[in-house]
Amino acid sequence: MNFAAAVRSVLTQYVGFSGRARRSEYWWFALFSLLVSIVTSILDTALGTNFEDSTNGVIGLLVSLALLLPSLAVAVRRLHDTDRSGWWILIGLIPIIGWIVLLVFYVQNGTPGPNRFGSDPKDVAGFGAAV
């Protein structure tokens, strides 16, 4: 899956928490989010829309809010691909340890073939489609 297809897939399933997401879909969207964050920081600085005594600004805040649900949805679908409940995302609330556990889950191969969350996205045309 390429960059554009992954981002398109995530954004078209804006709040789709069911189904499975391939590793490539998750990581390409993570890269997209990082790049958008950098661009919004530059825009906020250039336009002077930063909050007082902060590097964060209005544009960055609005874009972050817009990307929050798709980011959560693709993370849950990624956990589904490893045959884990989406509730595992809450372990990320534990600083450092939780983040490491989630990182390990996100880099693991998905379960081959269908699992309780749907068919294998590597076998489905239109990768990352909700099942």
Tens of pLDDT along the chain (131 residues) come to 899 999 999 999 989 999 999 999 999 999 999 999 999 999 998 998 888 877 789 999 999 999 999 999 999 999 999 999 999 999 999 999 999 999 999 999 999 999 999 998 888 554 444 44
Asked whether residue 129 is assigned to any structural domain, the reply reads no
Number of domains in the chain: 1
Asked whether residue 14 is assigned to any structural domain, the reply reads yes
Asked whether residue 120 is assigned to any structural domain, the reply reads no
Domain range for 23: 3-107
Element holding 64 (H helix, E strand): helix 58-81
- Percent helix / strand / coil, the chain, rounded to 5: 60, 5, 35
Asked whether residue 7 is assigned to any structural domain, the reply reads yes
Residue 127 to residues 19, 21, 25, 27, 76, Cα–Cα distance (Å): 11, 8, 8, 14, 16
pTM for the whole structure: 0.87
